[in-house]
Amino acid sequence: MIDNSKPILVTGVAGFIGYHVSKNLLLKGFDVVGVDSVNDYYDVHLKNNRVENLLKTSKSFKFQKFDLCDSNQLKKIYSEFGASSIIHLAAQAGVRYSIDHPESYLKNNLEAFLSILETARFYKAEHLTYASTSSVYGANENFPFKETNIADHPIQFYAATKRSNELMAHSYSSMFNLPTSGLRFFTVYGPWGRPDMALFLFTKSILAGEEIEVFNNGNHVRDFTYVDDIAESIVRVHLNSSPVNASWDPKFPDPASSKYPFNIYNIGNSNPVPLMSYIKEIEKNLSKTAKLKFLPLQKGDVHTTIADASKLENFISFKPSTSIEYGVQKFIDWYFKYFRL
Protein backbone atom coordinates (compact mmCIF):
# COMPACT_ATOMS: atom_id res chain seq x y z
CA MET A 1 0.00 0.00 0.00
CA ILE A 2 1.08 3.57 -0.75
CA ASP A 3 2.10 5.76 2.20
CA ASN A 4 -0.95 8.00 2.64
CA SER A 5 0.96 10.44 4.85
CA LYS A 6 2.83 11.74 1.79
CA PRO A 7 1.38 13.49 -1.28
CA ILE A 8 0.93 11.74 -4.61
CA LEU A 9 2.34 13.56 -7.64
CA VAL A 10 -0.22 13.56 -10.47
CA THR A 11 0.77 14.80 -13.92
CA GLY A 12 -1.71 16.15 -16.44
CA VAL A 13 -4.05 17.54 -13.77
CA ALA A 14 -5.43 20.17 -16.14
CA GLY A 15 -6.43 17.35 -18.49
CA PHE A 16 -9.64 15.37 -18.59
CA ILE A 17 -8.59 12.18 -16.78
CA GLY A 18 -5.96 13.87 -14.61
CA TYR A 19 -8.60 16.22 -13.25
CA HIS A 20 -10.95 13.39 -12.27
CA VAL A 21 -8.20 11.25 -10.72
CA SER A 22 -6.96 14.20 -8.66
CA LYS A 23 -10.48 14.95 -7.44
CA ASN A 24 -11.00 11.28 -6.52
CA LEU A 25 -7.77 11.29 -4.48
CA LEU A 26 -8.60 14.59 -2.74
CA LEU A 27 -12.07 13.36 -1.76
CA LYS A 28 -10.44 10.23 -0.33
CA GLY A 29 -8.24 12.43 1.88
CA PHE A 30 -4.95 12.28 -0.03
CA ASP A 31 -2.63 15.22 -0.62
CA VAL A 32 -2.03 15.83 -4.33
CA VAL A 33 0.76 17.73 -6.06
CA GLY A 34 -0.61 18.46 -9.52
CA VAL A 35 1.66 19.13 -12.49
CA ASP A 36 0.67 20.40 -15.94
CA SER A 37 2.15 22.57 -18.68
CA VAL A 38 -1.37 23.75 -19.69
CA ASN A 39 -0.50 23.73 -23.41
CA ASP A 40 -2.85 24.98 -26.11
CA TYR A 41 -3.64 21.65 -27.83
CA TYR A 42 -7.26 22.51 -26.93
CA ASP A 43 -9.14 25.19 -24.98
CA VAL A 44 -6.79 26.54 -22.28
CA HIS A 45 -9.75 28.14 -20.51
CA LEU A 46 -11.28 24.69 -19.91
CA LYS A 47 -7.95 23.40 -18.57
CA ASN A 48 -7.58 26.37 -16.20
CA ASN A 49 -11.14 25.86 -14.97
CA ARG A 50 -10.33 22.26 -14.08
CA VAL A 51 -7.33 23.39 -12.03
CA GLU A 52 -9.39 26.10 -10.32
CA ASN A 53 -12.01 23.52 -9.43
CA LEU A 54 -9.37 21.28 -7.84
CA LEU A 55 -7.99 24.20 -5.83
CA LYS A 56 -11.52 24.82 -4.53
CA THR A 57 -12.04 21.13 -3.75
CA SER A 58 -9.29 20.88 -1.12
CA LYS A 59 -6.42 22.80 0.43
CA SER A 60 -4.51 19.54 0.06
CA PHE A 61 -4.10 20.25 -3.66
CA LYS A 62 -0.98 22.09 -4.81
CA PHE A 63 -0.47 23.07 -8.45
CA GLN A 64 2.82 23.40 -10.32
CA LYS A 65 2.91 24.60 -13.93
CA PHE A 66 5.91 23.45 -15.97
CA ASP A 67 6.99 21.16 -18.81
CA LEU A 68 7.72 17.58 -17.72
CA CYS A 69 10.66 17.44 -20.12
CA ASP A 70 12.41 19.70 -17.62
CA SER A 71 13.67 16.76 -15.56
CA ASN A 72 15.55 18.95 -13.08
CA GLN A 73 12.39 20.88 -12.24
CA LEU A 74 10.41 17.65 -11.91
CA LYS A 75 12.95 16.20 -9.47
CA LYS A 76 12.97 19.46 -7.51
CA ILE A 77 9.17 19.44 -7.15
CA TYR A 78 9.08 15.75 -6.20
CA SER A 79 11.71 16.33 -3.52
CA GLU A 80 10.34 19.60 -2.14
CA PHE A 81 6.87 18.19 -1.57
CA GLY A 82 8.16 14.83 -0.34
CA ALA A 83 5.95 12.85 -2.72
CA SER A 84 5.47 9.11 -2.24
CA SER A 85 4.64 8.07 -5.78
CA ILE A 86 3.57 9.20 -9.26
CA ILE A 87 0.40 8.90 -11.32
CA HIS A 88 1.47 9.97 -14.82
CA LEU A 89 -1.47 11.05 -16.98
CA ALA A 90 0.11 13.90 -18.96
CA ALA A 91 0.62 13.20 -22.66
CA GLN A 92 0.05 14.49 -26.14
CA ALA A 93 -3.33 12.95 -26.81
CA GLY A 94 -5.22 12.36 -30.03
CA VAL A 95 -4.95 9.61 -32.62
CA ARG A 96 -5.56 11.79 -35.68
CA TYR A 97 -3.36 14.67 -34.55
CA SER A 98 -0.40 12.29 -34.43
CA ILE A 99 -0.58 11.75 -38.19
CA ASP A 100 0.56 15.31 -38.94
CA HIS A 101 2.37 16.25 -35.70
CA PRO A 102 4.55 13.26 -34.71
CA GLU A 103 7.25 15.51 -33.19
CA SER A 104 4.83 16.57 -30.44
CA TYR A 105 4.36 12.91 -29.44
CA LEU A 106 8.09 12.25 -29.47
CA LYS A 107 8.63 15.09 -27.00
CA ASN A 108 5.56 14.83 -24.78
CA ASN A 109 5.08 11.05 -24.75
CA LEU A 110 8.64 9.72 -24.88
CA GLU A 111 11.03 12.38 -23.63
CA ALA A 112 8.63 13.40 -20.85
CA PHE A 113 8.13 9.77 -19.82
CA LEU A 114 11.89 9.27 -19.51
CA SER A 115 11.92 12.29 -17.18
CA ILE A 116 9.17 10.63 -15.12
CA LEU A 117 11.04 7.31 -14.97
CA GLU A 118 14.29 8.96 -13.92
CA THR A 119 12.54 10.92 -11.15
CA ALA A 120 10.78 7.78 -9.92
CA ARG A 121 14.09 5.89 -9.93
CA PHE A 122 16.12 8.65 -8.29
CA TYR A 123 13.67 9.10 -5.40
CA LYS A 124 12.68 5.43 -5.16
CA ALA A 125 8.98 6.10 -5.77
CA GLU A 126 6.71 3.53 -4.16
CA HIS A 127 4.73 3.15 -7.38
CA LEU A 128 4.58 4.66 -10.87
CA THR A 129 1.16 4.32 -12.47
CA TYR A 130 0.89 5.65 -16.02
CA ALA A 131 -1.62 6.04 -18.83
CA SER A 132 -1.43 3.80 -21.85
CA THR A 133 -4.23 3.26 -24.38
CA SER A 134 -6.36 0.61 -26.04
CA SER A 135 -4.92 1.95 -29.31
CA VAL A 136 -1.80 -0.18 -28.71
CA TYR A 137 -3.82 -3.22 -29.87
CA GLY A 138 -3.74 -1.65 -33.33
CA ALA A 139 -4.20 -4.18 -36.13
CA ASN A 140 -5.16 -6.90 -33.65
CA GLU A 141 -8.74 -8.17 -34.16
CA ASN A 142 -8.72 -10.92 -31.54
CA PHE A 143 -11.73 -9.70 -29.49
CA PRO A 144 -12.10 -8.98 -26.66
CA PHE A 145 -8.67 -7.43 -26.23
CA LYS A 146 -6.70 -9.09 -23.43
CA GLU A 147 -3.48 -7.82 -21.92
CA THR A 148 -1.89 -11.14 -22.87
CA ASN A 149 -2.53 -10.36 -26.57
CA ILE A 150 0.45 -9.18 -28.58
CA ALA A 151 0.30 -5.39 -28.89
CA ASP A 152 3.16 -4.81 -31.31
CA HIS A 153 1.25 -3.72 -34.41
CA PRO A 154 0.22 -0.09 -33.78
CA ILE A 155 -1.40 1.62 -36.75
CA GLN A 156 -0.60 5.21 -35.75
CA PHE A 157 2.28 6.98 -34.02
CA TYR A 158 0.30 7.89 -30.89
CA ALA A 159 -0.17 4.19 -30.12
CA ALA A 160 3.49 3.50 -30.89
CA THR A 161 4.59 6.05 -28.28
CA LYS A 162 2.26 4.55 -25.67
CA ARG A 163 3.47 1.02 -26.37
CA SER A 164 7.00 2.39 -26.04
CA ASN A 165 6.08 3.75 -22.60
CA GLU A 166 5.10 0.23 -21.53
CA LEU A 167 8.42 -1.19 -22.68
CA MET A 168 10.37 1.65 -21.08
CA ALA A 169 8.53 1.02 -17.81
CA HIS A 170 9.43 -2.68 -17.88
CA SER A 171 13.10 -1.85 -18.33
CA TYR A 172 13.04 0.36 -15.22
CA SER A 173 11.07 -2.23 -13.25
CA SER A 174 13.75 -4.79 -14.07
CA MET A 175 16.85 -2.60 -13.64
CA PHE A 176 15.78 -0.62 -10.56
CA ASN A 177 12.98 -2.72 -9.03
CA LEU A 178 10.60 0.18 -9.68
CA PRO A 179 6.93 -0.86 -9.32
CA THR A 180 5.09 0.21 -12.48
CA SER A 181 1.52 -0.22 -13.70
CA GLY A 182 0.41 0.67 -17.23
CA LEU A 183 -3.29 1.34 -17.80
CA ARG A 184 -4.87 0.85 -21.21
CA PHE A 185 -7.92 3.11 -21.37
CA PHE A 186 -10.90 2.35 -23.61
CA THR A 187 -12.77 5.38 -25.09
CA VAL A 188 -13.15 7.54 -21.99
CA TYR A 189 -16.05 10.01 -21.84
CA GLY A 190 -17.93 12.10 -19.30
CA PRO A 191 -18.14 15.58 -17.70
CA TRP A 192 -15.18 17.94 -18.22
CA GLY A 193 -14.30 15.95 -21.35
CA ARG A 194 -11.96 16.99 -24.14
CA PRO A 195 -13.40 19.26 -26.87
CA ASP A 196 -11.69 17.19 -29.58
CA MET A 197 -13.48 13.96 -28.61
CA ALA A 198 -16.69 12.63 -30.16
CA LEU A 199 -19.16 13.33 -27.34
CA PHE A 200 -18.10 16.97 -26.99
CA LEU A 201 -17.91 17.53 -30.77
CA PHE A 202 -21.25 15.85 -31.44
CA THR A 203 -23.06 17.73 -28.68
CA LYS A 204 -21.71 21.09 -29.82
CA SER A 205 -22.57 20.49 -33.49
CA ILE A 206 -26.05 19.07 -32.87
CA LEU A 207 -26.98 22.07 -30.70
CA ALA A 208 -25.69 24.42 -33.42
CA GLY A 209 -27.63 22.57 -36.11
CA GLU A 210 -24.41 21.61 -37.86
CA GLU A 211 -23.44 18.30 -39.45
CA ILE A 212 -21.49 15.77 -37.42
CA GLU A 213 -18.82 13.69 -39.14
CA VAL A 214 -19.50 9.98 -38.74
CA PHE A 215 -16.49 7.95 -39.81
CA ASN A 216 -16.48 4.37 -41.09
CA ASN A 217 -20.04 5.14 -42.28
CA GLY A 218 -21.23 4.75 -38.70
CA ASN A 219 -19.99 1.17 -38.37
CA HIS A 220 -17.66 1.83 -35.43
CA VAL A 221 -18.10 -0.14 -32.21
CA ARG A 222 -16.53 1.29 -29.06
CA ASP A 223 -16.07 0.16 -25.48
CA PHE A 224 -17.19 3.50 -24.01
CA THR A 225 -15.92 3.86 -20.43
CA TYR A 226 -17.24 6.50 -18.04
CA VAL A 227 -14.57 8.75 -16.56
CA ASP A 228 -15.54 8.17 -12.90
CA ASP A 229 -15.00 4.44 -13.43
CA ILE A 230 -11.62 5.19 -15.01
CA ALA A 231 -10.59 7.43 -12.09
CA GLU A 232 -11.66 4.92 -9.44
CA SER A 233 -9.78 2.14 -11.24
CA ILE A 234 -6.60 4.22 -11.52
CA VAL A 235 -6.64 5.16 -7.84
CA ARG A 236 -7.25 1.57 -6.69
CA VAL A 237 -4.47 0.19 -8.89
CA HIS A 238 -2.07 2.88 -7.71
CA LEU A 239 -2.75 2.39 -4.00
CA ASN A 240 -2.12 -1.35 -4.33
CA SER A 241 1.27 -1.00 -6.06
CA SER A 242 2.42 -3.55 -8.67
CA PRO A 243 2.86 -7.19 -7.65
CA VAL A 244 5.47 -9.55 -9.05
CA ASN A 245 4.11 -12.52 -10.99
CA ALA A 246 5.73 -15.41 -9.08
CA SER A 247 4.67 -17.91 -11.77
CA TRP A 248 5.93 -15.86 -14.73
CA ASP A 249 7.43 -18.25 -17.27
CA PRO A 250 10.29 -16.90 -19.43
CA LYS A 251 9.66 -19.66 -21.99
CA PHE A 252 6.03 -18.55 -22.38
CA PRO A 253 6.27 -14.90 -21.33
CA ASP A 254 3.12 -13.04 -20.34
CA PRO A 255 3.55 -9.54 -21.86
CA ALA A 256 1.31 -7.94 -19.21
CA SER A 257 3.20 -9.07 -16.09
CA SER A 258 6.73 -10.00 -15.12
CA LYS A 259 9.09 -11.53 -12.59
CA TYR A 260 9.72 -7.85 -11.82
CA PRO A 261 7.11 -5.44 -10.31
CA PHE A 262 5.50 -4.62 -13.67
CA ASN A 263 1.87 -4.94 -14.78
CA ILE A 264 -0.47 -3.78 -17.52
CA TYR A 265 -4.25 -3.54 -17.09
CA ASN A 266 -7.14 -2.88 -19.44
CA ILE A 267 -9.64 -0.36 -18.06
CA GLY A 268 -12.82 -0.71 -20.09
CA ASN A 269 -16.53 -1.22 -19.63
CA SER A 270 -16.45 -4.56 -21.52
CA ASN A 271 -19.81 -3.66 -23.03
CA PRO A 272 -19.24 -2.54 -26.64
CA VAL A 273 -21.72 -0.05 -28.08
CA PRO A 274 -22.31 0.74 -31.78
CA LEU A 275 -21.45 4.35 -32.59
CA MET A 276 -24.95 4.96 -33.99
CA SER A 277 -26.50 3.90 -30.67
CA TYR A 278 -24.18 6.34 -28.91
CA ILE A 279 -25.33 9.14 -31.24
CA LYS A 280 -28.98 8.25 -30.62
CA GLU A 281 -28.37 8.57 -26.87
CA ILE A 282 -26.94 12.06 -27.41
CA GLU A 283 -29.92 13.00 -29.59
CA LYS A 284 -32.32 11.78 -26.92
CA ASN A 285 -30.70 13.90 -24.21
CA LEU A 286 -30.60 16.99 -26.43
CA SER A 287 -34.11 16.44 -27.85
CA LYS A 288 -32.61 17.19 -31.27
CA THR A 289 -31.86 15.07 -34.34
CA ALA A 290 -28.29 15.04 -35.61
CA LYS A 291 -27.42 15.90 -39.19
CA LEU A 292 -25.13 13.06 -40.20
CA LYS A 293 -22.27 13.26 -42.66
CA PHE A 294 -21.07 9.71 -43.29
CA LEU A 295 -17.39 9.33 -44.15
CA PRO A 296 -15.04 6.37 -44.75
CA LEU A 297 -12.75 4.89 -42.11
CA GLN A 298 -10.04 7.40 -41.21
CA LYS A 299 -6.37 6.56 -41.38
CA GLY A 300 -5.21 5.36 -37.96
CA ASP A 301 -8.69 4.36 -36.77
CA VAL A 302 -9.78 0.87 -35.72
CA HIS A 303 -13.37 -0.21 -36.29
CA THR A 304 -13.94 -2.02 -32.99
CA THR A 305 -12.63 -1.98 -29.41
CA ILE A 306 -13.73 -4.39 -26.68
CA ALA A 307 -11.91 -4.77 -23.37
CA ASP A 308 -11.42 -7.86 -21.30
CA ALA A 309 -11.07 -6.19 -17.89
CA SER A 310 -10.97 -9.38 -15.80
CA LYS A 311 -7.36 -8.84 -14.70
CA LEU A 312 -8.28 -5.40 -13.36
CA GLU A 313 -11.39 -6.71 -11.60
CA ASN A 314 -9.50 -9.59 -9.98
CA PHE A 315 -6.80 -7.21 -8.73
CA ILE A 316 -8.87 -4.32 -7.34
CA SER A 317 -12.34 -5.87 -6.89
CA PHE A 318 -13.80 -3.19 -9.13
CA LYS A 319 -14.89 -3.09 -12.75
CA PRO A 320 -16.17 -0.18 -14.86
CA SER A 321 -19.91 -0.67 -15.35
CA THR A 322 -21.55 2.72 -15.88
CA SER A 323 -24.08 2.60 -18.74
CA ILE A 324 -23.93 5.05 -21.65
CA GLU A 325 -27.49 6.11 -20.73
CA TYR A 326 -26.25 7.42 -17.39
CA GLY A 327 -22.88 8.62 -18.66
CA VAL A 328 -24.14 10.60 -21.65
CA GLN A 329 -26.83 12.23 -19.52
CA LYS A 330 -24.23 13.31 -16.93
CA PHE A 331 -22.08 14.82 -19.69
CA ILE A 332 -25.01 16.72 -21.23
CA ASP A 333 -26.02 18.03 -17.78
CA TRP A 334 -22.43 19.25 -17.23
CA TYR A 335 -22.23 20.76 -20.72
CA PHE A 336 -25.37 22.85 -20.23
CA LYS A 337 -24.23 23.99 -16.79
CA TYR A 338 -20.66 24.77 -17.86
CA PHE A 339 -21.67 26.77 -20.93
CA ARG A 340 -24.71 28.27 -19.16
CA LEU A 341 -27.14 27.14 -21.83
| CATH code: domain of residue 310 | 3.40.50.720
pLDDT at site 206: 98
What average pLDDT does the segment 283-289 reach? 98
Confidence (pLDDT) at 97:
84
Per the structure, the complete domain to which residue 312 belongs is given by 8-188+226-268+306-321
SS (H, E, C) the chain: CCCCCCCEEEECCCCHHHHHHHHHHHHCCCCEEEEECCCCCCCHHHHHHHHHHHHHHCCCEEEEECCCCCHHHHHHHHHHHCCCEEEECCCCCCCCHHHHCHHHHHHHHHHHHHHHHHHHHHCCCCCEEEEEEHHHHCCCCCCCECCCCCCCCCCCHHHHHHHHHHHHHHHHHHHHCCCEEEEEECCEECCCCCCCCHHHHHHHHHHHCCEEEEHHHHCCEECCEEHHHHHHHHHHHHHCCCCCCCCCCCCCCCCCCCCCCEEEEEECCCCCEEHHHHHHHHHHHHCCCCEEEECCCCCCCCCECCECCHHHHHHHCCCCCCCHHHHHHHHHHHHHHHCCC
Q: Within a domain: residue 129?
A: yes
* pTM score of the predicted model: 0.97
Task: Tell me whether residue 131 is in a domain.
Answer: yes
Q: Which of 19, 97, 137, 158 is catalytic?
A: 158
Per-residue pLDDT, 98: 85
Q: For the residues 317-335, what does the mean pLDDT come to? A: 98
- Work out the pLDDT band at 166, boundaries 50, 70, 90: very high
Please tell me the total count of domains within the chain. 1
Query: Which whole number is the average pLDDT over 283-296?
Result: 97
Q: Is the pLDDT of residue 1 over 80?
A: no
For residue 233, tell me if it sits in a domain.
Answer: yes
pLDDT of residue 95: 78
Each residue of 205-259: pLDDT tens digit? 999 999 999 999 999 999 999 999 999 999 999 999 999 999 999 999 999 999 9
* Average pLDDT over the chain, rounded to an integer: 96
In a domain, 337, yes or no: no
pLDDT for residue 300: 85
Q: Is residue 70 predicted with pLDDT exceeding 80?
A: yes
Q: Considering the domain boundaries, does residue 197 fall inside one?
A: no
Could you tell me if residue 218 is inside a domain? no
Considering the domain boundaries, does residue 121 fall inside one? Answer: yes
pLDDT digits (tens, 9 = 90+) for 179-197: 999 999 999 999 999 999 9
pLDDT over 90, % of the chain: 94
**In what order do the strands lie in the sheet containing 262-267?**
61-65, 32-36, 8-11, 85-88, 128-133, 180-185, 262-267
Read off the pLDDT of each residue in 56-61 and give the average, rounded to a whole number.
Answer: 97
* pLDDT for position 209: 97
pLDDT at residue 100 tops 90: no
Tens-place pLDDT, residues 72-99: 999 999 999 999 999 999 999 887 888 8
User: Sorting pLDDT into bands at 50, 70 and 90, what band is 114?
Assistant: very high
Q: What is the pLDDT of residue 133?
A: 96
Is residue 321 scored above 80 in pLDDT? yes
Q: What is the pLDDT of residue 62?
A: 98
Span 322-330, average pLDDT: 98
Query: CA 74, 9, 41, 94: dihedral to nearest 10 degrees?
Result: 110
Q: Is 63's pLDDT higher than 80?
A: yes
Residue 313 has pLDDT above 90, yes or no: yes
330 inside domain = no
Active site residue 172: no
